[in-house]
Amino acid sequence: MGTDVLARLLDEHDILLPLIVEIQAAAESQDHTALIAELVAGRAALTDELDAHIALEEGVAFTIIENFVGEEFVTPFRKEHAEICGLRDTVLAGLDSGRVPVSLCLQLCDLIQAHMQREDMMLFPSARNALDSEVLEIP
């Protein structure tokens, strides 16, 4: 039996959220040393893991939702993914050059948290209600 794609995505949100909260706390306190440490420690989660998560959402979950419910439900989420990746890349480029953009870190954290909350509270429950559980399984 496969894994429910929405359950897996929710689990990944739960793993990412504490990192985002820590980055946000360091940015809000203007603690550059802590912010740099959080970004360095979370780099793999913000790059490879986040990219894999977005690929699973867009390549599997969103495609299923589009096919059964309509693309207008996922278009805003796809646009936010592009915005999240752009902000993330700018933040990490700043980190690499020694100039961590605190305001962009805060913007990134706010966007990721709001995005995940909308997926968790609206998009995924709506999809689960509209679709058969077998459709949501990934091998």
Q: CB-based burial of residue 101 (10 Å sphere; 0-12 exposed, 13-18 middle, 19+ buried)?
A: middle
Task: Give pLDDT, residue 136.
Answer: 85
State residue 138 phi and psi, 5-degree precision.
-115, 145
Task: Give pLDDT, residue 139.
Answer: 67
As a CATH number, domain 3-132 is 1.20.120.520
pLDDT beneath 50: ranges in the chain: none
Cβ atoms of residues 128 and 56 within 8 Å: no
The DSSP call for residue 72 is: G
Domain ranges for the chain, please list them: 3-132
Task: Give pLDDT, residue 120.
Answer: 96
